[in-house]
Structure 1
Amino acid sequence: MRRKIPSLQALACFDAAARHESYTRAAQELALTQGAVSRQITALEAFLGVALFRRTRHGVALTERGADYALQVAPRLQGLERDTLDVMSPQGRSGSLHLAAVPTFATRWLIPRLPLLAAQHPDLTIHIETSTRPFMFADTAFDAALYAGTVEQVSRWAGTRAVRLLAEKVVPVCSPALLGTQTTLTPQAIAQLPLLQQSTRPEGWRQWFDALGVSAPQALSGPRYELFSMTAAAAAHGLGLALVPRLLIETELARGELVVACQQPLPSERAYYLVTPERADERPAVTVFRDWLGQVTGLLKG
């Protein structure tokens, strides 16, 4: 049966034009003329029977249907590109693993340990993209995910199995200069200092002070940062105190760029998990990666 699919060239032109909302910039990206891009999109609109763009004074803008279509097309083109690169790779798909991971954990904990994996399994290639929320594996090219959350959150991720890797111990840290001559600070003293906020966990400082029974009117005040790596960098540069998972700042602690200001951790049930699709025919690359994580963390059973 003949599939009702537009030409790949037309979809590539549409994807580029949708991202830039400009035929000119799409043409530059694809090394085509503006006229060629325009003709491809016109042909695609005729094929679909739907207007994807509307003209504006400054160029083009996506229609509502066009915006919806762009959201569907982009990940499928990315997946096709990944599959093509896998086939072109000497080891092929069987020797590669596509991993979704929370960004700072991937940068600070996983990547520094990947040379150990490469030494044991030189034919295995790990491709990493960032993702912080659960998703449907069937709708993506991902084979596994490194996820941070609670047992309850992980249990709600339908169609998956999860293995707990590491507990998350969040501690208050700062630049040594902020401590002065002191080795640690009391929670009461910390309440009087600038606090760096994590935008993904806006209640963190308030929860920490509440758990210790300390009044902190400024618990929600201070600059906000999206990633733990940003918050840690701000703390290392003396901008204030940060609540950061200790395992993400091993390097800064070892170098003395950051110090633990108070040994009281933030009460938390969060941990890092390896999440994989629940399927009988698991790819060998996934099994190898899970077993290796078990060796590295020393926490996985079987």
Structure 2
Amino acid sequence: MLLPSLENLACFEAAARTLNFRTAARAVALSPAAFGQRIKQIEEQVGAPLFERTTRRVQLTPLGLAMLPRARQCLAIAEDCLRTAMSPAPAPVELTLGTRFELGMSWIVPQLGKLTRRRPELTLHLYFGASDDLLRRLHDRSVDCAVTSARWSAASLAAETLHEERYAFVASPRLLQREEFTRPEHASRHCLLDIDATMPLFRYLADQMGGVGRFAFARHRWVGLGAAMKTLVLAGEGVAVLPLHMVAAELRAGKLRRLLRSAVLARDHFRLVYRRDDPRSALYAKLAESLRAAPIQ
């Protein structure tokens, strides 16, 4: 189906509004002959007359009356489209950001108000999940981007670096009063807390000290969340490597103590990860800029 041009629709609307072809022709800056040709073209496309014309008057046909509201709607949408394109204001956009529970609640959620004021065009929805879940959801497109320090090898993902993530090997003073932990051999007296059996957090220490095999812990407990690890460490239920931003206040207050203080733990970075084929890379760069402006507490 060949669609009518916006110019022809504008001529039709002007004729319907004025019911006078000469007046309508002046309104759209056309000669009467050119205007008449435009009306003829749109009537040929419709396949029926839109006007009843005599030497004394012009009237809309029933088909013309039915078509007029839609023609005006089309012209209004076209005008709004042009106005939007010419406007300096960014177009509204919605993104779903995936994040780990602890990081989201301690850092991203408190920043939502500032992000809205800084990027008023952006509506940011949140999804909370584990790191591997976030990466899966990026691939299946159920989240648009994710903040994570997890490693990945997929070439289909790209990232903007946000903040460095540092770690601390910690225990409660109450636990250390019962059993010291000043050498790797003392692991045999303690329970190691971590996310899961791959020990993703403890490896930031172990890989710097010869590997996990150097530490023969009495027990292991996998609790799924850094927040759960922190709660159990504070209760004296075990030792753990935790992100420094999670335990900095407790270390300052003496509620937790660093273990193996001479050991240098590996560091990582939080990144804003998104699909490489996503055409909104410039938007992710702006979002990353806003997140970098907010220190992780």
TM-score by length of 1: 0.53
Q: CA deviation at 1:237?
A: 1.1
Q: Secondary structure at the match of 1:275?
A: strand
Aligned with residue 249 of structure 1, among 247, 256, 259: 247
Please tell me the residue identity of whatever aligns with 2:217. Q
Q: Secondary structure at the match of 1:165?
A: strand
Q: CA deviation at 1:287?
A: 4.3
**RMSD of Structure 2 on Structure 1 (CA):** 3.9
What corresponds to 2:157 in structure 1? 160
Identity %: 20
Please tell me the residue identity of whatever aligns with 1:157. A
Please tell me the residue identity of whatever aligns with 2:115. L
1:175/1:259 contact within 8 Å kept: yes
2:205/2:266 contact within 8 Å kept: no
**Residues 83-232 of structure 1: matches in 2 within 5 Å?**
94-121=92-119, 124-131=122-129, 132-133=131-132, 134-135=135-136, 137=138, 139-150=140-151, 153=152, 156-180=153-177, 185-199=182-196, 201-202=198-199, 205=202, 208-209=205-206, 211-212=208-209, 215-218=214-217, 221-232=219-230
In the alignment, the residues of structure 2 paired with residue 241 and residue 218 of structure 1 have an alpha-carbon distance, to the nearest angstrom, of: 10
Moved more, 127-136 or 235-244: 127-136
What corresponds to 2:63 in structure 1? none
2:161/2:288 contact within 8 Å kept: no
Residue deviations 1:263-295, cap 9 Å, x none? 355744643211123357428764442220232
TM-score by length of 2: 0.54
1:175/1:238 contact within 8 Å kept: yes
Q: Secondary structure at the match of 1:99?
A: strand
For the structure 1 residues 106 and 211, does the alpha-carbon distance in structure 2 shift closer, same or farther, using more than 3 Å as the test? same
What corresponds to 1:277 in structure 2? 275
Q: CA deviation at 1:225?
A: 0.9
1:193/1:241 contact within 8 Å kept: yes
Please tell me the residue identity of whatever aligns with 1:222. H
1:204/1:243 contact within 8 Å kept: yes
1:175/1:237 contact within 8 Å kept: yes
Please tell me the residue identity of whatever aligns with 1:130. F
2:185/2:216 contact within 8 Å kept: no
In the alignment, the residues of structure 1 paired with residue 92 and residue 143 of structure 2 have an alpha-carbon distance, to the nearest angstrom, of: 13
Q: CA deviation at 1:245?
A: 1.7
In the alignment, the residues of structure 1 paired with residue 124 and residue 195 of structure 2 have an alpha-carbon distance, to the nearest angstrom, of: 29
Please tell me the residue identity of whatever aligns with 1:106. G
Q: CA deviation at 1:141?
A: 4.3
Residue deviations 1:241-271, cap 9 Å, x none? 1111212334443554333233355744643
Q: CA deviation at 1:224?
A: 1.7
For the structure 1 residues 182 and 191, does the alpha-carbon distance in structure 2 shift closer, same or farther, using more than 3 Å as the test? closer
2:165/2:270 contact within 8 Å kept: yes
Residue deviations 1:76-96, cap 9 Å, x none? xxxxxxxxxxxxxxxxx9253
Q: Where does structure 1 lack aligned partners over 5 or more consecutive residues? A: 1-92
Please tell me the residue identity of whatever aligns with 2:196. S
For the structure 1 residues 158 and 267, does the alpha-carbon distance in structure 2 shift closer, same or farther, using more than 3 Å as the test? same
| Poorly superposed stretches of 4+, deviation over 6 Å | 181-184
Q: CA deviation at 1:211?
A: 4.0
Aligned residue pairs: how many? 202
For the structure 1 residues 280 and 240, does the alpha-carbon distance in structure 2 shift closer, same or farther, using more than 3 Å as the test? closer
